[in-house]
Structures are given as structure tokens and as C-alpha cells.
Amino acid sequence: MGSAAIVFFLINLYFLHSPGFASMPVDRERTRFVFQKLNRQLDKLANKPQPNDVHQFRTYSRRLQALLEELPPKLSRNDKKLLKLLGRLRRRAGRVRDLDVQIAALHSLKIPQEPRRKAQLLDALTEMRGKRERKLHDSLDKVTTRELGKRLKKAAKNYEIAETTEPLRVARQRLTDVSKPQLPLTEDVLHQYRIAGKRARYVAELAGKAPEAEPFIRSLVSMQDALGDWHDWWLLSQSAEKIIHDAPDSALLSALHNVTGAKFRHAVRVVTEMRKGLFGTATSIDGAKRAQSGVAASSRKPSTSHTEPVRATA
């Protein structure tokens, strides 16, 4: 059992044997910060947004969605309208963000073959990003911006959450709901884990800096990083196939497929470890801790799991 599986396994045992872990309340300061941060990002998005501005807006709109949908007992009418407006805007921002990560991935790909074709692909992606950014900007007119700000302020003012709410239990359940060990880890299944893992992380982080929560959150971040990395390269490969449709034997396409395949295999390994941790069994917490100690000792050795971009051959 790998280190990620051990962490999830220990967390499951804590849920079963430690009431204090399961009943950690929501950190109220963190919930307020989500509302404040999203409000600031809306202002930045209304101007000429940089890639990080788009990313931050999408992240915090997702955090707010998780906060409103997963934790309170019922959404208000204002909450529903706010989430609908944010969802529409987030989809447009997502189309810009998708191009940002593809452009960054393409820049990082070092191959000696087909420099002109790579430049052609980069130009096409950059042009596409410009068009999508203009659509995003057009959707943020004064009326929409004013309504979003008003509804966000009202949602923050009226937000209430029961003292008995347990964000870590909710987060774990969100991950368990999508985890079906009998299903093979196909691309579609990895997409489900990518979405569920984000939401589980955002909910878990509302527990604050409790020591018991930190290993769980670190494992979710590791899974999210692996799945996000694969998804970025998968998007780039899909775009390249459409743009370089006249050269199916292109060395550039071959290199992109090779890297995407390596990222996919790495993501599968990470998710497999997580599933082992969620559904593994053991006789005691002490036994699991001993196993974790062994993993910690071995993890000090240099890692060989990182996948580097594959160079195309002539």
C-alpha cells in the first residue's frame, strides 16, 4: 500500500474510532474569506484579466458553490440565482483558462522536430484565447456585475451553518460517492474523480488548520495535481488533433500523445492509491501507523514517479 493509500486508510480509521476528528466544526473565518476573495476576483475579471485572475475566479466560485451546496441545509432563492449567474460566468472563464493551460503546456514541450508546426499550433491557441476572453469580458456588463455583487453581499450576510456541521465527513462522503472500486479507471472515470476531488478538498479546507485534517487535504491536493496535469495535456492533445488535422503522422502530435499517456498512467496510479486507502481494511490504527512509518522511511529515497515530457523521434 502506497503513502497516499496509507493516509486515506488512517483517515477512515479516524472516522470510525475518533469522534473528535469527525465532529470538527466549520472554520467561520474561512467561510467569510471565500465570499471576500470572490468579490475581489469579480472586480479583477471585469478589467483585462491575467491568466491567474481567471484561475482565481474559477477556483473561488467553485469554493463558494461547494460552501453553499454541500454544507447548509437548504439553498435560499438568492443563493440559487447567485450560483446560476456564477455558473454561466465560470463556464466562459473556464474556456479562457483551458487555453491558458494548453499554451503553458505547449511552451514546456521541448522537441527538436516541427518547430513551424508547433508555432502554428501556438498561434492558433493564442488567437482562440483572445476570442474567448472578449466573450468573457462582454458577459461582464455593468448590469450583471452589479447584480452579482448585490447577490454575493446578500448571501454572505445571510449565510448560516449549523454548529453540528462536519466538513471532513461531508468531504469524505463526496469522494466515496464517486469511488466505485469495481470500475476500471477510464478517462471518463478520472474526470469524475477530478471534479469530486476538487469539491471534497474545498469542503475539507473549511475545517481550518486542524492537525487531523491536514493529511487528508494534502492527499486531495496530490490527487488534484495529478488529475489536473493529465487533463491539461489531454486538452492540448485534443486541440492539436483538430488544428493539425492534415498531418496525422506529425511528430508533434506523437509527442503530445506520449506525454498525455504518461500523465494518464501517473494519474491512474495516484487515484488507485487513494481508492485503496478509502476501501482498504485493517485490524488496528497502530498497524496502519506502522505501515505509514515504513512508507515515510522509503519516501526519503529519490522519487522516480514524475513523468517528464517525452521527446519525439524522427
Tell which residue, 152, 1, 131, has the closest CA to residue 65: 152
Residues 113 and 183 in one domain: no
CA–CA separation, 279 and 273 (whole Å)? 10
Q: Categorize the per-residue pLDDT at 213 as very low, low, confident or very high, splitting at 50, 70 and 90.
A: confident
Tell which residue, 6, 60, 12, 22, has the closest CA to residue 207: 22
**CB of 251 closer than 8 Å to CB of 111:** yes
pLDDT at 284 over 60: no
The domain that contains 140 carries what CATH number? 1.40.20.10
Between residues 90 and 24, the one the model is more confident about: 90
Whether residue 312 is contained in a domain is answered as: no
Residues 220 and 95 in one domain: no
Domain end residue (candidates: 141, 163, 185): 163
For the whole model, what pTM was predicted?
0.78
Domain end residue (candidates: 111, 141, 163): 163
| 50-101: pLDDT as tens digits | 889 999 999 999 999 999 998 877 899 999 999 999 999 999 999 999 999 9
Residues 144 and 190 in one domain: no
Residues 13 and 43 in one domain: no
Is residue 237 helix, strand or coil? helix
Q: How many structural domains is the chain composed of?
A: 2
Whether residue 313 is contained in a domain is answered as: no
Residue-level pLDDT at 250: 94
Residue-level pLDDT at 293: 40
* Side-chain half-sphere exposure of 1, counting CA atoms within 13 A: 24
What domain range includes position 112? 26-163
Whether residue 60 is contained in a domain is answered as: yes
